[in-house]
């Protein structure tokens, strides 16, 4: 069974956050989100997609 190693980093500032998502050492996404429910829901949706087998 292959195991996925998922790592994500978030740099938070007052108006936005920069997000980087890596799977098995490869960057799969790198973007900025707004610090509100719209941005947080975008991040949550992306993280759910990355962790699906």
* Model pLDDT, residue 51: 61
pLDDT digits (tens, 9 = 90+) for 2-33: 677 888 899 999 999 999 988 889 998 899 99
Domain residue ranges in the chain: 6-50
CB contact set of 22 (below 8 Å; sequence gap of 6+): 6, 7, 8, 28
* Model pLDDT, residue 52: 58
In the sheet that 26-34 helps form, which strands lie side by side, from edge to edge? 6-12, 16-23, 26-34
**Rounded CA separation 29/14 (Å):** 22
Pick 48 or 39 by higher pLDDT.
39
């Amino acid at each position: 069974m292959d195991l996925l190693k998922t790592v994500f980093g978030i740099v938070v500032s007052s108006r936005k956050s920069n997000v980087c998502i890596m799977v098995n050492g490869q960057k799969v996404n790198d973007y900025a989100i707004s610090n509100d429910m719209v941005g947080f829901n975008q991040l949550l949706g992306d993280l759910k997609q990355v962790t699906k087998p």
